Amino acid sequence: STAATLERFTINFTITNLPYTSDLENPDSARFRDTRRDMNSLLDRLLKESSIGPDFQGCETTGFRYGPGSDRDQTRVDAVCTYSKEPWAAPLDRVGLYHQVSNKTRGITQLGPYSLDKDSLYVNG
Protein backbone atom coordinates (compact mmCIF):
# COMPACT_ATOMS: atom_id res chain seq x y z
CA SER A 1 0.00 0.00 0.00
CA THR A 2 1.16 3.52 -0.79
CA ALA A 3 1.94 5.80 2.11
CA ALA A 4 -0.03 8.94 2.85
CA THR A 5 1.47 12.16 1.55
CA LEU A 6 1.62 15.49 3.34
CA GLU A 7 -0.47 18.06 1.51
CA ARG A 8 -0.65 21.77 2.19
CA PHE A 9 -3.26 24.46 1.84
CA THR A 10 -3.17 28.15 2.62
CA ILE A 11 -5.52 30.18 4.77
CA ASN A 12 -5.66 33.97 4.61
CA PHE A 13 -7.87 36.35 6.54
CA THR A 14 -7.88 39.92 7.84
CA ILE A 15 -8.02 40.85 11.53
CA THR A 16 -9.79 44.14 12.13
CA ASN A 17 -8.71 44.71 15.74
CA LEU A 18 -4.98 44.15 15.34
CA PRO A 19 -3.24 47.29 14.05
CA TYR A 20 -0.39 46.56 11.68
CA THR A 21 2.94 47.86 12.96
CA SER A 22 6.50 47.51 11.75
CA ASP A 23 7.02 44.90 14.50
CA LEU A 24 4.83 42.56 12.49
CA GLU A 25 7.23 42.87 9.54
CA ASN A 26 10.09 41.64 11.64
CA PRO A 27 10.17 37.87 12.34
CA ASP A 28 12.65 38.52 15.15
CA SER A 29 10.39 40.87 17.10
CA ALA A 30 8.53 39.74 20.21
CA ARG A 31 5.24 41.00 18.77
CA PHE A 32 5.69 38.94 15.60
CA ARG A 33 6.57 35.81 17.58
CA ASP A 34 3.73 36.22 20.11
CA THR A 35 1.14 36.94 17.42
CA ARG A 36 2.36 34.04 15.29
CA ARG A 37 2.20 31.66 18.26
CA ASP A 38 -1.35 32.87 19.02
CA MET A 39 -2.47 32.43 15.42
CA ASN A 40 -0.94 28.98 15.10
CA SER A 41 -2.67 27.72 18.22
CA LEU A 42 -6.04 29.29 17.31
CA LEU A 43 -5.89 27.82 13.80
CA ASP A 44 -4.76 24.44 15.12
CA ARG A 45 -7.69 24.31 17.54
CA LEU A 46 -10.11 25.35 14.80
CA LEU A 47 -8.95 22.78 12.27
CA LYS A 48 -8.63 19.89 14.73
CA GLU A 49 -12.41 20.24 15.14
CA SER A 50 -13.04 20.21 11.38
CA SER A 51 -13.70 17.28 9.05
CA ILE A 52 -9.96 17.07 8.29
CA GLY A 53 -9.25 16.89 12.05
CA PRO A 54 -8.02 13.27 12.08
CA ASP A 55 -5.55 13.99 9.25
CA PHE A 56 -4.65 17.54 10.26
CA GLN A 57 -0.97 18.12 11.11
CA GLY A 58 -0.80 21.81 11.98
CA CYS A 59 -0.73 25.38 10.71
CA GLU A 60 2.23 27.69 10.49
CA THR A 61 1.65 31.42 10.18
CA THR A 62 4.04 32.55 7.45
CA GLY A 63 3.60 36.28 7.74
CA PHE A 64 1.53 39.38 8.33
CA ARG A 65 0.64 42.17 5.93
CA TYR A 66 -1.32 45.36 6.35
CA GLY A 67 -5.03 45.29 5.63
CA PRO A 68 -6.80 45.99 2.33
CA GLY A 69 -5.26 48.86 0.37
CA SER A 70 -2.78 50.14 2.92
CA ASP A 71 -5.08 50.03 5.92
CA ARG A 72 -2.76 49.80 8.91
CA ASP A 73 -5.64 49.47 11.37
CA GLN A 74 -6.00 45.92 10.10
CA THR A 75 -3.62 43.01 9.72
CA ARG A 76 -3.76 40.31 7.07
CA VAL A 77 -2.64 36.85 8.17
CA ASP A 78 -1.07 34.27 5.85
CA ALA A 79 -0.82 30.70 7.08
CA VAL A 80 0.08 27.34 5.57
CA CYS A 81 -1.62 24.26 6.99
CA THR A 82 -0.56 20.65 6.51
CA TYR A 83 -2.61 17.48 6.49
CA SER A 84 -1.93 13.89 5.70
CA LYS A 85 -3.72 12.56 2.61
CA GLU A 86 -4.23 8.90 1.90
CA PRO A 87 -3.72 8.01 -1.77
CA TRP A 88 -7.37 6.98 -2.16
CA ALA A 89 -8.79 10.02 -0.35
CA ALA A 90 -10.63 12.71 -2.30
CA PRO A 91 -8.84 16.03 -2.82
CA LEU A 92 -9.27 18.67 -0.12
CA ASP A 93 -12.84 19.98 -0.07
CA ARG A 94 -11.96 23.67 0.05
CA VAL A 95 -15.58 24.84 -0.08
CA GLY A 96 -16.59 22.49 2.73
CA LEU A 97 -13.62 23.57 4.81
CA TYR A 98 -14.39 27.24 4.14
CA HIS A 99 -17.94 26.72 5.47
CA GLN A 100 -16.68 24.87 8.55
CA VAL A 101 -14.18 27.62 9.34
CA SER A 102 -16.98 30.14 8.80
CA ASN A 103 -19.27 28.28 11.22
CA LYS A 104 -16.56 27.99 13.87
CA THR A 105 -15.67 31.70 13.67
CA ARG A 106 -19.24 32.99 13.97
CA GLY A 107 -19.55 33.67 10.28
CA ILE A 108 -15.89 34.74 9.94
CA THR A 109 -16.21 37.43 12.59
CA GLN A 110 -14.27 36.05 15.54
CA LEU A 111 -11.18 33.92 16.17
CA GLY A 112 -10.30 33.90 19.85
CA PRO A 113 -9.76 37.54 20.89
CA TYR A 114 -9.50 38.67 17.28
CA SER A 115 -12.25 40.24 15.19
CA LEU A 116 -12.24 39.19 11.55
CA ASP A 117 -13.35 40.88 8.36
CA LYS A 118 -16.14 38.53 7.29
CA ASP A 119 -15.30 38.94 3.59
CA SER A 120 -11.60 38.25 3.98
CA LEU A 121 -11.32 34.47 4.31
CA TYR A 122 -9.57 32.46 1.60
CA VAL A 123 -8.87 28.73 1.72
CA ASN A 124 -6.66 27.50 -1.12
CA GLY A 125 -5.79 23.91 -1.97
User: What is the residue extent of each domain of the chain?
Assistant: 5-124
How do residues 76-98 score in pLDDT, each as one tens digit? Answer: 999 999 999 999 888 899 999 99
Q: What are 56-76's pLDDT values in tens digits?
A: 999 999 999 998 888 899 999
Quote helix, strand, coil % in the chain, to nearest 5: 30, 35, 40
Write out the DSSP string of 62-109: EEEEE-STT-TTSEEEEEEEEEEE-TTSPPP-HHHHHHHHHHHTTTTT
**What pLDDT is recorded for position 70?**
86
Q: Which CATH architecture has domain 5-124?
A: 2-Layer Sandwich (3.30)
Give per-residue pLDDT as tens, 18-35.
Answer: 999 999 999 999 999 999
Report the C-alpha gap between 63 and 78 in whole angstroms. Answer: 5
Collapsing DSSP to helix, strand or coil, 8 comes out as: strand
Q: Does residue 3 surpass a pLDDT of 90?
A: no
pLDDT digits (tens, 9 = 90+) for 43-57: 999 999 999 999 999
Neighbours of 105 (CB within 10 A): 19
User: What pLDDT score was predicted for residue 1?
Assistant: 59
pTM summary value = 0.92
